[in-house]
Structure 1
Amino acid sequence: MIHGGDLLSYKEFYDGDLVDFSSNINPLGYPQGLEAHLVKSFSSLLAYPDIKYRRLKENLSDYLGCQEESLVLGNGSVELIDGFISLFERVLVFTPSFYEYEARTKVHGKALMSLSYNKDFEVDLEDLSLVKKRDLLILGNPNNPTGLRIKEERLRAIYEVVVEKEAFLLLDEAFYEFTEGYDSIKLFKGEEYRNLAILRASTKFFGLPGLRLGYGVTSSAMARRLEGLLLPWNINSLAEAAGDYIFKDGTYIEKSRAYVKKERDFLSSGIEGLESFKVFSSESNFLLVRLLACDEDKAFNHFLSQGLIIRKCSSFRGLDKSYIRVAVKDRENNKRLLNAFRSLDDYLRKSPASL
């Protein structure tokens, strides 16, 4: 299992509707009213999108608080990750992290250096001594699958090392809106994003994985350089139209952030009380769980028998078969997930010899 969200592969094993806890999408779905807005925009499909995406960039500039000249747009943030990787000869990633960092590096035939997070899933600053001139360092913030965000002081320190070594820092912030605290786009505005790019997307928080709208902030010079690599019209007209709507709904944004935090705390506290599992703290809309009495396959099959799909984590470099990841859903489905955790815990405590 390299990516979550693959329900079709498991439908034959459960007689009913599966609930997908392997895919980390806002449980509230996309903003209310977006469907009607897109229906009104449907006639835009009769023409090409604006090749410069001026209106979309204006909306993003207002939403993110940056200059339009600093914006880059992608068919999902993965296209932007791919583009940045193509510009550098060596890529450094800390593991465990999103699979596509390594995958796209290999596709482009670039050198890859894989480093490990420490026991707290944080970057050890000492490891940055390995960064060289013109390297690309990619960090998830919050990271997937750990859900942890880089502390502000540590992020500043990482950035200072990258600038000093004339390397480049790529922050993948696909889950940013679920978090509280500092905004890295505002944090580095005074630096004019030199040696830095910050990527976000409509996929996770705005509940639109099928729309494929990614965006990023970097220096104006790097933005022009990257745009020269990307295909024209890489954002479709409906994604462009969605940008007229989703970034202006402040009520939805605040409601979603508060709801996910409440449900994440509910899930986390429920799992913490079970002796067969260790749940890690998270600042995103998912939880990393360590299995203390079985492996991911036994856990996966148990949850599947309950109509629930979870994410096995052994495909993440740096994790083994004793880890799983679960998304935060609505209260009804979170209760269902907790009941499945409890029944598995009960079985494991009563039948240790069968493991």
Structure 2
Amino acid sequence: MEHGGDLLTYKNCFDGRLVDFSSNINPLGFPEGLEERLKNSFDTLTSYPDIQYRALRKSVSNYLNCDYNNVLVGNGAVEIINDFIMLADRVMVMVPGFSEYENRALIHGKKVVRIPYKKDFTVDIDILRDLVKKDDLLILGNPNNPTGLRIKEDTLSDIYLLMESGGGYLLLDEAFFEFCPKDYNSIELFKKYNYRNVGIIRAATKFFALPGIRLGYGCASDKKVEEIRKIRLPWSINSLADISGQYICNNKKHIKDYIEKSRDYIERERDYLQGELSKISGIVPVPSHSNYILIKLIDWDGEYIFNFFLEKGILIRKCGSFVGLPKNYIRIAVKDSENNKRLIQIFKELNRLSEHKGV
């Protein structure tokens, strides 16, 4: 399993509707009013979208509180990440991390340097200091996928200053930003540097529950934005994604309420899952700041657990494809309350069966 959300591959493994705990999408669904807005926008499909996406970029600049010339938009966060990689000399990736960082780098013929996280899944700045070279691109998930851990503000500042002083570039993948605590905002943090040697990417996919729309956005220096514009395929964002982005960014009061409601719901359900999982022998949940939880399996491997849950109608994420993680790790999403309780009951059932068998 290279990525979560692959329901089609496993649909015949269960006689019923699979519940997808493998993809980390907001269980509250997309913002109210967006469906109606899209229904009223089908006439736009007979025309090309604006090739410069001026209205969308203006909306994003207001939403992120950054200058229009610093705004990036793309066909999902992955397209923007791919653009940064194309412009890099060498790509540094932390492991375990999102596999597409390395995949895209190798496709483009870039040299890849893997840097392991510490045992607690935090960044080892000393290793970075020894490895960074001029024109290196360091990609960091913030929070990281699959661990769910966000980088502390002072640590992030130190990493940026280290990369900047060494002539490198820091790229932050913040696709899960809105799920995290409101302790700091990296777009505000790096504004004083005019985003020199740093790019920040976010997406509508996860938090706004729009994986089918494919819309990424973020900030970088005006120079980097122009470099990316020159290599970007034209019309990479479709009209419905354009309209969705404008709707999200322009309805600040409505979206603020949606964000607060979603964040509170995820925090409550995540705390429930963390607490209940911690009571079950044979598994160790990793503390998370996001809407997914990495779990270390003590008594089983990921393949066995994956199949056990699949037989019960639940699709979880095996983590064997994550470089730097052994096969005894799995990842689960934070879903709605009913399904979260169902997940815990299946874990308890598994635990009882194992105790009965003497595992």
> Taking structure 2 as the reference length, what is the TM-score of the superposition?
0.97
Give the distance between the partners of 1:119 and 1:300, measured in 2 at CA.
24
Give the distance between the partners of 1:231 and 1:68, measured in 2 at CA.
20
> Contact 2:60/2:246 (CA < 8 Å) preserved in 1?
no
Counterpart residue type for residue 205 of structure 2: T
Give the distance between the partners of 2:349 and 2:121, measured in 1 at CA.
29
Counterpart residue type for residue 173 of structure 1: E
How far apart are 1:349 and its partner, in Å?
Answer: 2.3
Give the distance between the partners of 1:352 and 1:37, measured in 2 at CA.
57
How far apart are 1:58 and its partner, in Å?
Answer: 1.2
Q: Which residue of the partner structure matches residue 244 of structure 1?
A: 246
Q: Which residue of the partner structure matches residue 44 of structure 2?
A: 44
Give the distance between the partners of 2:358 and 2:60, measured in 1 at CA.
54
Task: Compare 5-14 and 96-105 and name the one that shifted more.
Answer: 5-14
Q: Which residue of the partner structure matches residue 169 of structure 1?
A: 170
> Contact 1:178/1:205 (CA < 8 Å) preserved in 2?
yes
Q: Which residue of the partner structure matches residue 69 of structure 1?
A: 69
* Runs of 4+ more than 3 Å apart: none
> Contact 1:133/1:167 (CA < 8 Å) preserved in 2?
yes
How far apart are 1:352 and its partner, in Å?
Answer: 3.4
Give the distance between the partners of 1:339 and 1:84, measured in 2 at CA.
43
Q: Which residue of the partner structure matches residue 260 of structure 1?
A: 266
Within 5 A, what are the aligned runs for 1:71-90? 71-90=71-90
> Contact 1:276/1:348 (CA < 8 Å) preserved in 2?
no
Q: Which residue of the partner structure matches residue 7 of structure 2?
A: 7
Q: Which residue of the partner structure matches residue 154 of structure 1?
A: 155
Within 5 A, what are the aligned runs for 1:268-283? 268-283=274-289
Q: Which residue of the partner structure matches residue 224 of structure 2?
A: 222
SS at match of 1:259: helix
1:183-226, CA deviations, whole angstroms, 9 ceiling, x for partnerless residues? Answer: 00000100000000000000000000000000120000000001
Counterpart residue type for residue 319 of structure 2: C
Q: Percent identity?
A: 53
Q: Which residue of the partner structure matches residue 53 of structure 1?
A: 53
Give the distance between the partners of 1:243 and 1:10, measured in 2 at CA.
32
> Contact 1:276/1:349 (CA < 8 Å) preserved in 2?
no
SS at match of 1:243: helix
SS at match of 2:94: strand
Counterpart residue type for residue 278 of structure 2: E
Give the distance between the partners of 2:358 and 2:9, measured in 1 at CA.
30
Q: Which residue of the partner structure matches residue 292 of structure 1?
A: 298
1:287-346, CA deviations, whole angstroms, 9 ceiling, x for partnerless residues? Answer: 000011000111011101110000000100010110000000000010111111111111
How far apart are 1:46 and its partner, in Å?
Answer: 1.3
Structure 2 gaps, min length 5: none
Decide which of 320, 338, 355 is 1:332's aligned counterpart.
Answer: 338
The number of equivalent residue pairs is 353
Q: Which residue of the partner structure matches residue 92 of structure 1?
A: 92
Counterpart residue type for residue 8 of structure 2: L
1:232 matched to 2:234? The reply is yes
Aligned-residue CA RMSD in angstroms?
0.8
Give the distance between the partners of 1:321 and 1:194, measured in 2 at CA.
39
Give the distance between the partners of 1:109 and 1:163, measured in 2 at CA.
24
Within 5 A, what are the aligned runs for 1:109-124? 109-124=109-124
Q: Could you say if the C-alpha distance between residues 109 and 352 of structure 1 is closer, same or farther in structure 2, counting changes exceeding 3 Å?
A: farther
How far apart are 1:350 and its partner, in Å?
Answer: 2.4
SS at match of 2:231: coil
Q: Which residue of the partner structure matches residue 309 of structure 2?
A: 303
Give the distance between the partners of 1:243 and 1:7, measured in 2 at CA.
26
Counterpart residue type for residue 44 of structure 2: S
Q: Which residue of the partner structure matches residue 210 of structure 2?
A: 208
Q: Which residue of the partner structure matches residue 35 of structure 1?
A: 35
Structure 1 gaps, min length 5: none
Q: Which residue of the partner structure matches residue 190 of structure 2?
A: 188
